Amino acid sequence: MKNFTTLKDISNLSELIKEAILLKMNPFEYSEIGKHKTLVMLFFNSSLRTRLSTEKAAKNLGMDVMILNVNDAWNLEFEDGTIMNFDKSEHIKEAAQVISQYADVIAVRAFPTLTDKAKDEGEVILNSFKKYATVPIVNMESATAHPLQALADAITISELTEKKTPKVVLSWAPHPKALPQAVANSFVKMMQDLDVDFTITHPKGYELNSKITKNSPINYNQEDALKDADFVYVKNWSSYNDYGKVLNQDNNWMMTKAKLGNAKFMHCLPVRRNIVVEDAVLDSDQSVVIKQANNRTFAAQVVLKQILEDL
């Protein structure tokens, strides 16, 4: 693997999932593969799971890890040709080339603005690193995508499904803040690549980018969409069309035990209890969110392993 910035970087999904599950059974089997190799993790935004699981994954492979909260340095300029006389001290051209000399792999977390759709869709930060860095780039959640999360989700469904073709529903949930579409986007794409019967349900106005949802059915009736589901992935996102806006906080869209039926409950976390989903769901055996989070380590580990093998 040369980079892992989008799900398109996966050449064989089912093999990758199998390999991740093998790593989970024996996390230290390849603890020499990363010897004298350094992962630099760059955070433009907050992180808990992604930070700890990616660091852990790298160390399981014997890598050294260096972490930089970009706030501990200074603001970077991403536009070409600017006269840098304001608040940006360094251009990404220099930063990416320089960090590449200290790293064998660079992982980047950079959330969207949610105010500048063109900039977000252009994935300016992630793509600038990809353009100027001279080492592989791993996406730790970018403006429009969270492929490591989606890979962990696919591993989780593969491990837990009792059917060849389970029914999977992505169900929007209310949230007080405007959140990115990244997790939902990557989950949709991943479901399109997996052998599942997939449906999306959300209030009108919350349509994701239609280039992503393509042929995936959208059902505005949550109850109907959830019928006979095997896995229900609940997630809030802000409006894509009315970009970055919170149009609806209707708590009828909250996931409840009653609505869930016999399905397994999935969420990427962090999750706001009794806003996105009621306690009764999270505290039941039907919730697999903790297992999902555990698979973040092995999603990152299989990606880093494949990148290290191709260095």
Q: Can you tell me the distance from the alpha carbon of 193 to that of 17, in angstroms, rounded to the nearest whole number?
A: 12
Q: Can you tell me the distance from the alpha carbon of 253 to that of 232, in angstroms, rounded to the nearest whole number?
A: 13
Binding region for its own copies (CB under 8 A) out of 163-171, 199-207, 231-239, 290-298: 290-298
Binding region for its own copies (CB under 8 A) out of 82-90, 144-152, 219-227, 240-248: 82-90
Give CA separation, 163 vs 184, 205, 224, in Å: 23, 33, 21
| Torsional sign, CA 57, 61, 62, 67 | negative
Please report, as residue ranges, which positions from 10 to 39 form the binding site for its own copies (by CB under 8 A): 27-28, 31, 36, 38
Distance of CA 286 to the CA centre of its chain: 22
**Position among 8, 14, 29, 89 found at the interface with its own copies (CB under 8 A):** 89
Tokens read off for 8: 């398109």
Query: Binding to its own copies by residue 104, rule CB under 8 A?
Result: no
220 to 249: interface string for its own copies, x by CB under 8 A: ------------------------------
**Position among 55, 123, 141, 230 found at the interface with its own copies (CB under 8 A):** 55
Binding region for its own copies (CB under 8 A) out of 91-99, 183-191, 201-209, 226-234: 91-99
The angle at the Cα of 42, spanning 38 to 46, to the nearest 5 degrees, equals 135
140 to 179: interface string for its own copies, x by CB under 8 A: ------------------------------------x---
Q: Can you tell me the distance from the alpha carbon of 213 to that of 130, in angstroms, rounded to the nearest whole number?
A: 25
Is residue 140 a contact partner of residue 127, using CB atoms and an 8 Å limit?
no
CB of 69 to its own copies, least distance (A): 6
For its own copies, give the closer residue by CB, 178 or 212: 178
Is residue 23 a contact partner of residue 49, using CB atoms and an 8 Å limit?
no
For its own copies, give the closer residue by CB, 97 or 210: 97
**Position among 91, 167, 189, 235 found at the interface with its own copies (CB under 8 A):** 91
Query: Binding to its own copies by residue 286, rule CB under 8 A?
Result: no
**Position among 14, 26, 97, 284 found at the interface with its own copies (CB under 8 A):** 97
> Is 42 assigned to a binding site?
no
Query: Binding to its own copies by residue 250, rule CB under 8 A?
Result: no
Query: Binding to its own copies by residue 272, rule CB under 8 A?
Result: yes
- Name 303's Cβ contacts closer than 8 Å, sequence gap at least 6: 1, 4, 138, 148, 151
> Is 278 assigned to a binding site?
no
Q: Residue type at 266?
A: M
Q: Does 270 sit behind a cis peptide bond, omega within 30 degrees of 0 on the bond before it?
A: yes
Binding region for its own copies (CB under 8 A) out of 11-19, 49-57, 198-206, 236-244: 49-57
Q: Going by DSSP bridges, is the β-strand pair 76-77/90-91 parallel, antiparallel, or unpaired?
A: parallel
**Position among 18, 88, 119, 130 found at the interface with its own copies (CB under 8 A):** 88
Tokens read off for 145: 């995508």
Q: Can you tell me the distance from the alpha carbon of 97 to that of 131, in angstroms, rounded to the nearest whole number?
A: 10
Segment holding 257, helix H or strand E: helix 257-260
> Is 126 assigned to a binding site?
no
Distance of CA 26 to the CA centre of its chain: 24
Residues that bind its own copies (CB under 8 A): 27-28, 31, 36, 38, 40, 43, 46-49, 51-53, 55-56, 59-60, 64, 66, 68-69, 72-74, 77, 80-86, 88-91, 93-95, 97-99, 101-103, 176, 269-275, 279, 282-283, 289-290, 293-294, 297
